Amino acid sequence: MAAAHTDFWALERHNRRQTVMLVAVFIALFMALGCGLDFVFHDLAIVDGALVGFPLVTLIALGFGIFQSLLSYYGGAALVLASVRARELTPDTPQHQMVLDVVREMALAARMPVPTAYLMDDPSPNAFATGRDPRHSVVCVTQGLVDTMDREEVQGVLGHEMAHVRDYDIRTMMMIAVLVAGIAMLADFVYRSMWYTGGVGGGGGRSGGGRDDDSGGNAGAMIGVLVVVLAVLAPFFAQLLAMAVSREREYLADAASVEFTRNPRALLRALERIAETESPLRNASRGTAHMFIVNPLQGARADDEGFFANLFSTHPPLGRRIERLRAMLNAAGGETPPGGAAAPAATPRG
């Protein structure tokens, strides 16, 4: 047990370092786009081989990047919940009360504060967790998950989400969601500005192009081309980064769900039930897709294998996750391990 806790602390430190690295990468992208605009607007220029001017837009982009980082850290959870139109879950039905009870059970199993539970009014079964740390964490389930899953399956899903909370995955994924949106917005602004100023190498900047010599003008034109390329690729690169970060965490969270519930069958049955649906979430977006337990933008059956399919997916293949859980169940002799989560027997939904 002590070794396991050591691994968890090591994973938390890794996630903290990765979050800092990701913020630095996104701020660098903000500054690169801003620096490109400085050349487009001729606030910066290369004259006689020397860089002259004042990087006004670069500094503005730096400030915007820092603001986005702070916003994602302190207000990211609220933004994510608002974007998916989630509301706080109340014990107004027996099913909702059951979910609240399971949230408390899984928090107790993980030895962590009880997260606030939210609900999405969507018929597709899915769930996610968000927040900046375990004391400010949120778990959100869809009405479809509540309607289609029994208590054992809900335990498996919420055990998975509690793993993301415990390992501080929620902070990294939340900040990525907000920063990806910021990159997309800034890149769109840069792209539009390029056309407004007359395109690559145009002379419509604030300071005019008179102070550039020929070599400086050519360098400015080259930088303009790079700015256009960066504006097009930055949102794509940010999205790929979000996908890669999400994929590597899902297997760990699946294993931790088994640890919390002491029942490999719980999450296995839940994922198999999710695999039966082809209905995407109505309020999901590419910016938040990496946060859900399964890809919310397409039917679960479209979660294909293969290098390119995995590269452009926010989640590892659902079939592979199910196979790993089956292997765990077989290793346990096909039975729930001793000391499994104390919960009422699963009651099938009507």
| Active site residue ranges | 161
- Residues 5 and 130: their CA atoms lie apart, in Å, by 22
| Cα 69 from chain centre | 14
- Residues 157 and 270: their CA atoms lie apart, in Å, by 7
Q: Within 205-263, where are the H helices?
A: 214-261
- Residues 26 and 179: their CA atoms lie apart, in Å, by 7
- Residue 108's alpha-carbon distances to 104, 172, 242, 260, in angstroms, are 6, 23, 30, 9
Q: Decide: 100 and 117 in contact? Cβ < 8 Å.
A: yes
H-run or E-run covering 299: none
Residue identified by tokens 């479209």 is 302
First to last CA, the chain: 40
Sign of CA dihedral 192, 193, 199, 201: negative
- Residues 229 and 263: their CA atoms lie apart, in Å, by 49
- Residues 67 and 79: their CA atoms lie apart, in Å, by 14
- Residues 275 and 266: their CA atoms lie apart, in Å, by 14
Of 38, 32, 50, the C-alpha closest to 216 is 50
Residues 6+ apart with CB under 8 A from 18: 172, 245
